[in-house]
Amino acid sequence: MKTKQCLVIGLGRFGTAVATTLYEMGHEVVAIDQNEDNVERVMNRVTHAAIVDATDERALRSIGAADFDVVVVAIGTDVQANILATMNAKSLGAPYVVTKAIDEMARRVLERIGADLVIRPEHDMGVRLARQIATPNIVDTLDLGGDYAIVEIEANERLRGTLRDLNLTGRFGVQVIAVSRAGKVEVTPRAEDELRPHDKLVVIGTGHSIDELRRYLGE
């Protein structure tokens, strides 16, 4: 795995989790915040931590924002500061900026000013939890963007039979890319491979096609 140079702006609970986890995974992490207590709390858990005002373009330039592979703007409730920090990072030439939005309006603004990825952690986790409650067979989901996602599904009685007979592509528009059973993984399974209850399937499809499959499994 290639080591990435990461800059995390804002060291609340979310930003701290991002920064320390990236560091634990072996990446170079510079973490900044205006609050001295927040900076001191992560001082020994990242590569470098500093008190920097990311809404000041000159301050952000001084730490070389454009030189990082990824900039994560994790400023919490101060929408204006979040937008300014994102604008500054992009205007300085940061190649990939991930930013946190507190609501839908903020998300739209952040996308318009050039954020490469906008996330809404509480909203996204709420949607994910609701889907897991409504459809326990869906084990995990990875959004790919462009309305596509990869999901891991636990097969039930409705998914018993060969892949050819089940015809998940024709019926739901999803493609099975892997099957796991008893710890053994079959990548790109064959049409004659048979599914059994409790098998784990990894499928790819659009949000609509995956929702159709969710409804089928939950009936």
Confidence (pLDDT) at 146: 63
The upper half-sphere exposure of residue 100, i.e. CA atoms within 13 Å in the direction of its Cβ, equals 21
Residues 1, 188: Cα–Cα separation, whole Å? 24
Domain positions in the chain are 5-119, 124-218
Reduced to 3 states (helix: H, G, I; strand: E, B; else coil), residue 18 is helix
- Residues 146-177: pLDDT tens digits? 677 888 888 888 889 999 999 999 999 999 99
Inform me whether the pLDDT recorded for 4 exceeds 80. yes
What does the block give as tokens for 101?
Answer: 């939005």
* Residue % of the chain over a pLDDT of 70: 90
Average pLDDT, the chain: 88
Q: How confident is the model at residue 211 (pLDDT cuts 50, 70, 90)?
A: confident
Give the residue-averaged pLDDT of 194-217.
87
pTM: 0.68
Q: What is the mean pLDDT of residues 72-87?
A: 92
> Mean pLDDT, to the nearest integer, of 16-35?
95
Task: Report d(CA 215, CA 208) in Å as an integer.
Answer: 11
The per-residue pLDDT for 143 is 63
Mean pLDDT of 131-138: 60
Arithmetic mean of pLDDT, 58-76: 95
Predicted confidence at residue 44, as pLDDT, reads 94
Q: Is the per-residue pLDDT at 121 higher than 90?
A: no
Looking at domain 5-119, does it have CATH number 3.40.50.720? Answer: yes
DSSP annotation of 106 reads: H
pLDDT at 186 (0 to 100): 84
pLDDT at residue number 144: 65
Res 47 pLDDT > 90: yes
136, pLDDT greater than 60: no
- Could you give the angle at the alpha carbon of 142 between the alpha carbons of 141 and 147, nearest 5°? 105
Would you say residue 137 has pLDDT above 60? no
CATH fold match for the domains 5-119 and 124-218: no
Residue 142 pLDDT more than 90? no
- Among the residues of the chain, which ranges form H helices? 13-24, 36-42, 57-62, 79-91, 104-112, 121-134, 163-166, 168-172, 207-218
1 pLDDT higher than 70? no
Contact residues for 196 (Cβ-Cβ < 8 A; gap 6+): 155, 160, 181
Q: Which CATH number fits domain 124-218: 3.40.640.10, 3.90.76.10, 3.30.428.10, 3.30.70.1450?
A: 3.30.70.1450
Please give the pLDDT value at position 208.
86
